[in-house]
Amino acid sequence: MATLSARAERWPLAQAFVISRGAKTEAEVVVAEIVDGAHRGRGECVPYARYGETVEGVIGQVEGLRPRLEAGLGRGELQDLLPAGAARNAVDCALWDLAAKRAGVRAWTLAGRTRLDPVKTCFTISLGPPEAMAEAARENARRPMLKLKIGGPDDLDGVAAVRAAAPRSRLIVDANEALDFDDLRRLAPEFARLEVKLLEQPLPVGQDGELEGYQSPVPLCADESLHTRAELAACARRYRLMNIKLDKAGGLTEALALAADARALGIGVMVGCMVATSLSMAPALIPAQGAEVVDLDGPLLLAKDREPGLSIVGSLIEPPPPELWG
Catalytic positions:
149, 245
Q: Which helix (H) or strand (E) holds 126?
A: none
Distance CA(173)–CA(150), nearest Å, equals 7
Q: What letter would DSSP give residue 16?
A: E
Distance CA(31)–CA(137), nearest Å, equals 32
Backbone angles phi, psi at 35, to 5 degrees: -115, 130
User: What single letter denotes the amino acid at residue 112?
Assistant: G
Maximum separation of any 2 CA atoms in the chain, in Å: 60
Backbone angles phi, psi at 127, to 5 degrees: -65, 135
- Distances in Å between the alpha carbon of 180 and those of 153, 187, 191, 203, 243? 8, 11, 15, 5, 20
Per-residue HEC secondary structure of 130-183 comes to: HHHHHHHHHHCCCCCEEEEECCCCCCHHHHHHHHHHCCCCEEEEECCCCCCHHH
* Closest listed residue to residue 201, CA positions, set 298, 270, 285, 124: 270
**Helix, strand, or coil here: 128?**
coil
Distance CA(174)–CA(168), nearest Å, equals 19
Distance CA(110)–CA(101), nearest Å, equals 11
Distance CA(64)–CA(76), nearest Å, equals 17
- The CB-side HSE value for 11 (13 A sphere, CA atoms) comes to 27
